Amino acid sequence: MKWVNHLAIAGSTTALVSPALVPVALLGSTAPDWLEWVLKALGKPVRHRTVTHYLLGWALLLAFGLGLWDFHGMVAAFAWGGLSHVLADACTVMGVPFSPHSDRRFHLFGGRLRTGGSGEYGVAWGLVAVCLVIAVLFKPHGGSGWYPFFYDWAGLYQSGVIDAKEWKDNRLKFF
């Protein structure tokens, strides 16, 4: 699946729960792919959609972040990004491996989407639309006017949640 769709899925779902963690989730949502480049750079090339795309691995990391140890929710957000990537890839014809111990490819919804096809855009942006509707329905009344999807980057930077320079350097690399 295309990165723009992975980013849309992870970003919109995370914005509903915790807008501050969206950048971390975005990083995680592309991790299964860029980790392949990292491994290659380290001299350990892996085949596409194998080691870094184990459904079980990302699910366990998410469980770990939610249940055992986390740092400001970052582990969970990163893992959710990765898991959403693998789940989205599972909707494509190629599927994803479930764990190192199974050769079977895991498919969701029949695995009919084609990478780059219009179907994956429909799924990803349909989900964004659903998240927007939920966000509007649950919009808090009064108060600071906090609103998912229009979070305050400057505020995040001041509170130290994100490193502004790092974000600026990296945000364009996703596309």
Does position 36 interact with Zn ion (CB under 5 A)? The reply is: no
> What letter represents residue 126's amino acid?
G
Indicate the burial class of 22 (C-beta count within 10 angstroms; 0-12, 13-18, 19 or more): buried
If we measure between CA atoms, which residue out of 17, 18, 16 comes closest to residue 156? 18
Q: Which is nearer to Zn ion, 33 or 70 (CB)?
A: 33
Residues in contact with Zn ion, counted by CB under 5 A, come to a total of 3
State the nearest-atom distance from the C-beta of 164 to Zn ion, in Å: 28
Strand partners of residue 92: 113
Query: Alpha-carbon distance 34 to 27, whole Å?
Result: 9
State the nearest-atom distance from the C-beta of 171 to Zn ion, in Å: 20
Q: Which is nearer to Zn ion, 19 or 80 (CB)?
A: 80
Report 57-116 residues binding Zn ion (CB under 5 A).
89
Binding site residues, Zn ion, CB under 5 A = 32-33, 89
